[in-house]
Amino acid sequence: MAYRNKTYVIFDGDNDMWAYARMKGWKALKNIDFNFIDAHDLKPLTKQAKSEAYIKGRLLERIKNAKQVVVLVGEKTKNLYRFVRWEIEQSQNLDLPIVVANLNKTRSIDNKLCPPILKGENAVHISFRMKMIKYALDYWPTYYNNSVDKTKSDDWHYPASVYKKLGLDD
């Protein structure tokens, strides 16, 4: 399944670290069926991490090793340009499948919070729920790579029936 490939997670490190930590926590629990190979575990930053060029170089190495991307969208994500926007641009340049997980649990694009660079860019927008993220990582990369017409653009999302099938119909 796609979630066994390296996944690069983009997020607001100041405000949304809790969501990234939750994903890592889900992965760590043996009784929960959630796993992903975290691209951030590759090439750890060293003491030289004070240089923006150094940090971006290491992040780019991680992105290039990833097979898909998850963008955690919180209240301030759309305003972050220095790293978040840059990471999204690099992911798009590499034509990586992007899963946008709305921390407010919106099930489709949240036009108020979504970074403009992701609007209409063939990413799938989902709610930040463990089962939904797993589902998207299992199915979106293959669909994106094999079925999405890249000459057109859209904001993708899963129908309510998928959430219901996963037991997320609340």
Q: CB 65: neighbour CB atoms within 10 A?
A: 14
In 3-state terms, what secondary structure has residue 98? strand
pLDDT string in tens for the chain (170-residue length): 444 578 899 999 899 999 999 998 888 877 777 766 666 666 666 555 678 888 888 889 889 989 999 999 999 999 988 899 999 999 999 999 999 999 999 999 999 999 999 999 999 999 999 999 999 999 999 999 999 998 899 999 999 999 999 999 76
pLDDT computed for residue 58 by the predictor: 85
